[in-house]
Amino acid sequence: MPKLVIDGEEIEVPAGYTVFQACELAGKEIPHFCYHPRLNIAGNCRMCLVEIEKSPKPVASCAMPAAEGMVVHTDSPLVHKARKGVLEFLLINHPLDCPICDQGGECDLQDLTLFYGPDHSRFEENKRAVADKYLGPLVATHMTRCIHCTRCIRFLTEVAGVPELGGCWRGEHLEITNYIERALHSELQGNIIDLCPVGALNSKPYQYRARIWELKKTESIDVMDAVGSNIRVDARGNEVMRILPRLHEEVNEEWISDKTRFAYDGLKYRRLDVPMVRRDGRLVEASWREAFRTLVDRMGELPGERMAFVLGDLVDAESMVLVRELAERLGCPHVDCRQDGAKIEGRLRAEYLFNTTIAGIEQADFCLLVGTNPRWEAPLVNARLRKRWRMGGFRVARIGAPFDLTYPVEDIGEGPETLKAVAEGEHEICEALAKAERPMLVLGPGAVARADGAAVLALAHRISERFGLLGEGWNGYNLLHTAAARVAGLDLGLLPGEGGRDLAGILKGVEAGEIELVWLLGADEIEVSRLAGAFVIYQGTHGDRAAPVADLVLPGAAYTEKNATWVNLEGRPQHGRLAVFPPGEAREDWKILRAASEALGRTVPLDNIFAVRARMAELAPQLARIDSVTPAEWGGFGRRGRLTEAPFVSPIADFYLTNPIARASKVMRQCSAEILRPVNEKATGTHG
Amino acid sequence: MSTTGEGMAPEVESFAFSEENLEKIRGILARYPEDRRASAVLPLLHLAQEQHGGWLPRAALDHVADFLGMPRIQVYEVATFYDMFNTEPVGRIQVRVCTTTPCWLCGSDEVLRACREVLGVEVGESTPDGRFYLREFECLGACANAPVLWVDDDYFEDLDYARTKAVLEALKRGERPRPGPQSGRRGSMPAGGKTTLLFEEK
């Protein structure tokens, strides 16, 4: 623990700290461009110069280890002179195009120029101009503005694990480029836009659309996957202009996936903004009053066991409380929140949570992935696994389809028979598993959303108990969800009740004429063609897959348009907030359900969001503890049964098009066409 | 020097090392530890460039990267960093004029003028028949014999306008002029004759 003096104050810092970190700890702000706490040190911008006594020259503090007895000055005339000099050099080739630059108003170079910049230029020669590079549909480039901090290169190489950017040529001619003028292949590439300290890398969809000071910023939660990334929704008027990450060390650190960042244009297209009723085979616009009249006509007299509720991937917890209450009052046992058909029983919380927690991955020393492709199912969980691998001493084995996860993975099998061999201690990987101090197992949707899912869960349970995945303060058993709604649905018990049918049963019931009405709450990823025999109510946001087959459409609010709770895969409840209002006649979903219950004469007496949340806390007390993970108690789950031979397959065939919002997004479609097609070609072996 | 990788150089479909070069590569790789194969990137790029007529198409860079199991962008970085690698097609005979300070003080402008006149091309261009490629180069490290011209594997030293012309015209005729100082002095002995060791050793 070295002790040093910074601007006259003595401070003790942890061993291994740099002078820069020590200064930050002492509350001194050091200007910088290339330094970033989550990336390796480059030390090439020279902006963080400080004066250290007995050192003949100013020192780049980001790259200098703090040592015992150092006397550092961060505010001396020498330091100011040095910083001014560095900044003048950086500005030599930087264009004066701030008025048309997207970074304007949130630019590090602009801010620091205010403090250290010269008032005029002494440089009379021509400025350097650099050709813009093509990096795909997400990242726009203005390379003349680049100051070569190399943050983008380091992010893609270190955090994303997709080394596709580099510095080509040299000296005066150095250019940041991918050299091949093709789209980048990372699903985290949007983060380089945030990392760029100048306006060299911009968001292509947001380019020239708005100025930062015009935007209303709303802190919210993402629903594109089950990670629950913390986001900031920037809106102008009633339009979402962009989405940025918010810092949450335990969830997304300061990154978000490209789907989270760029799918927002899907909120504008194909929206359901008015209730619709099917008349003479066609959906026609109707008022809410007419819609509820139709609802009462078809539902009012129908016995509860002849109707069913299916919940989609993006549904908020408040709406699910209402569904539960309404179904109970209607006497309807056929409720299912598992639209992917996962064989999760839901009796025991530990069964369906990511018990290790995302931050907990950093403590693990062995990981067995079963039927999962975390890179597409939860890119930030994958980023955390990669972060753990980079620390060293982490072995990852996989049962399932091979896929490049950006870190080395040992493929030990593709189907349940390998999992069974591991559970019975007959596989060679068992030795490593048993030796590991903190082993973890990640069961993906591809392993449980199948006919023998319950048996797979039983095997995973056996492995967990047999190989010490459960220890003091450690639970290495994890289920990885892909849907933001799933954990809340399971916590709130939106599962088939006494004599109730699951999704497969409901579909069969419809075909057999035993179920006459199905209420789909944002459920689009089911076989909608099999619902032809029933009266279908679709409550949701987009005219995607289910709305066209519905007989009654109730327009709901998307995740940016309501105050609501989502529970991430760790079981962490978080509040999303309203950033813009729902379009047209669309309403918040819990309110629609509340109004429907009254129209049906079975009023659910929850009149405002506080009452809904109070009821939610009664049903599942852990959901009231916002932003905290309540550890789940261990117990028995899964059911022994016959295993099939079919290999595990991840349900996500296309990372960019997994939900109605993403499917409506032009940007996501473009990504799918441009970024994924070459990847798929690679998988078939025609590449390289 | 190109500003972008693509669109400038013609597309070359594929590249693979010849049997003969593969044999050499086995020897090169033996110099490095198994998990440090990427260390061999420079010698492999030299071999690839030699095999592909003096320049490296993207296919060759990709082949070297995949061969050594390193990210392709890292090979692009290396190949564009070093001046000895050409990422665009160039004439077969590469004429490189040193224009760094010592050579410049000793008259490299004249050397360059002679090159332009004889070859009929500007710096950075190849002759239309694809035989010669003219370019400026930073310090060639032969300052004692400035100014210097580097043609393929040979240095021609102590040049002036006339001597440069003579060398290039000989090359043009397909002859192989004698490399080294063109002034008649030996190596880098003092230009005006000996200044020390003037007496014969007994």
Report pLDDT digits (tens) over A650-664: 999 999 999 999 999
**Rounded-to-integer distance, Cα A547 and Cα A550, Å:** 5
**Residues A136 and A178: beta-carbon distance below 8 Å:** no
Q: B130: how many CB neighbours lie within 10 A of its CB?
A: 13
Q: Is the pLDDT of residue B127 over 80?
A: yes
Q: Does A170 contact chain B (CB < 8 Å)?
A: yes
Cα–Cα separations (whole angstroms), residue A533 to A278, A338, A509, B3, B6: 14, 21, 10, 63, 57
**Rounded-to-integer distance, Cα A282 and Cα A551, Å:** 9
**A630 membership: H or E segment, kind and range:** none
Residues linked to residue A441 through DSSP beta bridges, in sequence order: A368, A477
**Rounded-to-integer distance, Cα A384 and Cα A361, Å:** 7
Q: B193: how many CB neighbours lie within 10 A of its CB?
A: 8
Q: Does A173 contact chain B (CB < 8 Å)?
A: yes
**Rounded-to-integer distance, Cα A445 and Cα A480, Å:** 7
If you compute the radius of gyration of chain A from its CA atoms, what whole number of angstroms results? Answer: 27
Q: Give the residue among A43, A62, A268 at the shortest CA–CA distance from A149.
A: A43
Q: A511: how many CB neighbours lie within 10 A of its CB?
A: 14
Q: What are phi and psi of A153, to 5 degrees?
A: -65, -45
Paired tokens of A56: 């003949």
Give the minimum alpha-carbon distance from A142 to chain B in angstroms, rounded to a whole number. Answer: 14
**Residues A605 and A528: beta-carbon distance below 8 Å:** no
Using an 8 Å CB-CB cutoff, list chain A residues near B73: 163-166, 178-179
| 3-class secondary structure, B71 | coil
**Rounded-to-integer distance, Cα A307 and Cα A519, Å:** 8
**Residues A147 and A33: beta-carbon distance below 8 Å:** yes
Instruction: Output the CA torsion sign for A200, A35, A262, A265.
Output: negative
Helices (H), A216-316: 258-262, 288-299
**Rounded-to-integer distance, Cα B5 and Cα B12, Å:** 13
What pLDDT shows up at residue B193?
78
What pLDDT shows up at residue A679?
55
Inter-chain contact A178–B77, Cβ cutoff 8 Å? no
| 3-class secondary structure, B125 | strand
Give the minimum alpha-carbon distance from B77 to chain A in angstroms, rounded to a whole number. Answer: 5
Q: Give the residue among A222, A213, A189 at the shortest CA–CA distance from A203.
A: A189
Average pLDDT over residues B43-56: 95
What pLDDT shows up at residue A686?
42
Pairing of strands A395-399, A366-370: parallel
What pLDDT shows up at residue B9?
73
What are the E-state strand segments in A175-296? Answer: 175-177, 201-203, 216-221, 230-236, 239-245, 276-279, 282-285
| 3-class secondary structure, A484 | coil
Mean pLDDT of chain B: 91
Paired tokens of A642: 């016959």
Domain ranges of chain B: 19-81, 93-181
Using an 8 Å CB-CB cutoff, list chain A residues near B4: 131, 133, 177, 181
Query: Counting beta carbons within 10 angstroms of the beta carbon of residue A685, is it exposed (0 to 12), middle (13 to 18) or buried (19 or more)?
Result: exposed
What pLDDT shows up at residue B4?
42
| 3-class secondary structure, A477 | strand
Q: Does A678 contact chain B (CB < 8 Å)?
A: no
* Minimum-distance CB partner of A181 among B1, B5, B71: B5
Q: Which of B1, B2, B4 to mutate against chain A (most A CBs within 10 Å)?
A: B4
Cα–Cα separations (whole angstroms), residue A69 to A28, A55, A526, B148: 18, 13, 66, 53
Q: Which single residue is written with the structure tokens 């007299």?
A: A301
Residues linked to residue A73 through DSSP beta bridges, in sequence order: A51
What pLDDT shows up at residue A324?
97
Q: In terms of CA atoms, which chain A residue is nearest residue B83?
A: A169
Quote the DSSP letter at residue A634: P
Q: Give the residue among B120, B130, B122, B117 at the shortest CA–CA distance from B88.
A: B130
Q: Give the residue among B35, B150, B39 at the shortest CA–CA distance from B97.
A: B150
Using an 8 Å CB-CB cutoff, list chain A residues near B6: 179-181
Inter-chain contact A168–B6, Cβ cutoff 8 Å? no
Paired tokens of B157: 């030293």
Q: Amino acid identity of B76?
A: Y
Inter-chain contact A164–B62, Cβ cutoff 8 Å? no
pLDDT band at B5 (very low <50, low <70, confident <90, very high): very low
Instruction: Output the CA torsion sign for A246, A248, A254, A260.
Output: negative
Q: Is the pLDDT of residue B51 over 50?
A: yes
Average pLDDT over residues B98-110: 96
What pLDDT shows up at residue A106?
95
Q: Give the residue among A559, A560, A575 at the shortest CA–CA distance from A522.
A: A559
Segment A139-186, tens digit of pLDDT: 999 999 999 999 999 999 999 999 999 999 999 999 999 999 999 999
What residues have CB less than 8 Å from A662, skipping those under 6 apart?
A: A224, A259, A263, A266, A656, A668
Q: Which of B15, B35, B80 to mutate against chain A (most A CBs within 10 Å)?
A: B80
Average pLDDT over residues B144-156: 93
Quote the DSSP letter at residue A65: B
Give the minimum alpha-carbon distance from B44 to chain A in angstroms, rounded to a whole number. Answer: 18
Give the minimum alpha-carbon distance from A95 to chain B in angstroms, rounded to a whole number. Answer: 18
Cα–Cα separations (whole angstroms), residue A207 to A68, A149, A203, A358, A558: 48, 22, 6, 33, 24
Q: Does B138 contact chain A (CB < 8 Å)?
A: no
pLDDT band at B13 (very low <50, low <70, confident <90, very high): confident
* CATH, domain B19-81, list 3.30.420, 1.20.1630, 1.10.10, 1.20.120: 1.10.10
| 3-class secondary structure, A379 | helix
Q: A687: how many CB neighbours lie within 10 A of its CB?
A: 10
Question: What residue ranges of chain A have pLDDT lower than 50?
Answer: 682-688
A/B interface, count of CB pairs below 8 Å: 49
**Rounded-to-integer distance, Cα A232 and Cα A427, Å:** 46
**Rounded-to-integer distance, Cα B25 and Cα B16, Å:** 12
**Rounded-to-integer distance, Cα A120 and Cα A138, Å:** 35
Pairing of strands A439-443, A477-479: parallel
Using an 8 Å CB-CB cutoff, list chain A residues near B1: 169, 173
Q: What are phi and psi of A430, to 5 degrees?
A: -60, -35
Average pLDDT over residues B176-185: 92
Q: Does B13 contact chain A (CB < 8 Å)?
A: no
Pairing of strands A59-60, A49-52: antiparallel
Using an 8 Å CB-CB cutoff, list chain B residues near A688: 62, 66
**Rounded-to-integer distance, Cα A469 and Cα A474, Å:** 7
| 3-class secondary structure, A258 | helix
Pairing of strands A395-399, A410-413: parallel
Inter-chain contact B5–A170, Cβ cutoff 8 Å? no
**Rounded-to-integer distance, Cα A312 and Cα A305, Å:** 21
Paired tokens of B155: 């240095």
Q: Give the CATH class of B93-181.
A: alpha beta
What pLDDT shows up at residue A681?
53
Q: Give the residue among A107, A111, A118 at the shortest CA–CA distance from A80.
A: A118
| 3-class secondary structure, A663 | helix
Give the minimum alpha-carbon distance from B74 to chain A in angstroms, rounded to a whole number. Answer: 7
**Rounded-to-integer distance, Cα A516 and Cα A539, Å:** 17
Cα–Cα separations (whole angstroms), residue B165 to A159, B90, B138: 56, 21, 21
Q: Does B88 contact chain A (CB < 8 Å)?
A: no
**Rounded-to-integer distance, Cα A153 and Cα A562, Å:** 37
Q: Is the pLDDT of residue B1 over 60?
A: no
Inter-chain contact B74–A163, Cβ cutoff 8 Å? yes
Q: Does A180 contact chain B (CB < 8 Å)?
A: yes
| 3-class secondary structure, B134 | strand
What pLDDT shows up at residue A687?
40
Paired tokens of B119: 């070859």
